[in-house]
Amino acid sequence: MRITAQAKSETRHRILEVAADLFRTKGFESTTTRDVAQAAGIATGTLFNYFATKETIVTELAAEALARARKQFEKAEPSETFEEALFALVAIELRQLRPSRKYIAPMLETALSPLAAGQRNEPGEELRVRHLEMVVSLAHSHGFGELSPVALQLYWTLYTGALAFWAKDRSPKQEDTLALLDESLAMFAAWLADSANETKRSNGSNNTE
């Protein structure tokens, strides 16, 4: 029997939905792939046709939340400064990720960690690229040229660091994450502006020589 594309997409959607529920109520660690399959009304073997691991499910849940965040961000009013725009982008993402905050940490460690370069899983890599593309385009619209690989790596480290902090933030309404994010992004934007000025200055002095 052939399974239609629509049925496939529905099953996939159902798996994600029940998995999110289970992770939230039972916790990520104590939820097994069997639990997920059972709740979705499919065989465990069938589940693996859709998602290879539990971590992939979480990454996919995060990817969906982040895609929603990006759509919202694109509709929102543009920010005055680069630093503020970055803050707005991450803040919208965090709002979307909030329901999955409790179980998102393992995903951050495996899929997004700057240390996992070369061994990233595909959805994780896609998340990274999508987000960085957004950052590059924001940098562009705020008058910065191309971002160097160093700049991107620095940004990614700050970003995933903030996410990791957020996942474990025990302050009321995770307000400490907001402060951390504010400082980190201010630092990044200031560093970027400084290096841009540096480049201009050295170009200028080259010209006079």
Partner 1 sequence: MPASLPELIAALPHEEESEEPGQPGLSDALERVAMRPVPVGRFRRLRLLGTLQAQIAVAYLFHWLRGWFKSADENKRLLAETHWRTALRVLNSMSYLRGAVMKAGQMLANFPDIAPRAFVETLERLHFDAPPMHWSLLREMVHNELGDDPENVFAEFDKRAFAAASLGQVHRARLQTGEQVAVKIQYPGIARTIREDFRNLFPFLLPARLSNDWENTKDQFEDLRLRIEAETDYVQEAANLEKVRALFREEDGIVVPRVYREFSTARVLTMDWIDGVHMDDYLARNPSQEERNEFARKMLRAWYRILFTGRMLYADFHPGNFLFLPDGRLGLIDFGFMLHYEGEEWEIMRRMDRALTTGRRDDRIAAIKEWSNTTDEEPERIRLMEEFADWCWRSRYCGGEFDFGDEADFRRGVDLFTEMVRKRYSRARPSTPTVSRHQFGWRSIYYRLKAKIDVRPICEEEVKATGWDRSEYAA
Q: Which is nearer to partner 1, 57 or 94 (CB)?
A: 94
Q: How far is the CB of 99 from partner 1 (least distance, A)?
A: 15
User: Based on CB atoms, which residue is closest to partner 1, 34 or 201?
Assistant: 201
Least separation in angstroms between residue 109's CB and partner 1 is: 25
Angle between helices 149-167 and 82-97 (to 10 degrees): 40
**Residue 112 and residue 63 in contact, taking contact as beta carbons nearer than 8 Å:** no
Count the Cβ atoms, other than its own, within 10 Å of residue 14.
15
Least Å distance, CB 164 to partner 1, is 17
Q: 42 vs 186, which CB is nearer to partner 1? A: 186
157-162: long-range pairs with CB below 8 Å, 24+: 157/114, 158/184, 158/185, 158/187, 158/188, 159/90, 159/131, 160/108, 160/112, 160/113, 160/114, 162/90
Q: Six-digit token pair at 87?
A: 């803050």
Closest CA to 142 of 81, 100, 208: 81
Closer CB to partner 1, 57 or 134, in the complex: 134
Nearer to partner 1, 28 or 159 (CB): 159
In whole angstroms, the minimum distance from the beta carbon of 70 to partner 1 comes to: 16
Q: Which residues bind partner 1 (CB under 8 A)?
A: 79-81, 83-85, 87-88, 91, 95, 171-173, 175-176, 178-179, 182-183, 186-187, 189-190
Tell the smallest beta-carbon distance from residue 84 to partner 1 (Å).
4
* Separation of alpha carbons 92 and 130, rounded Å: 15
In contact, 135 and 155? CB cutoff 8 Å:
yes
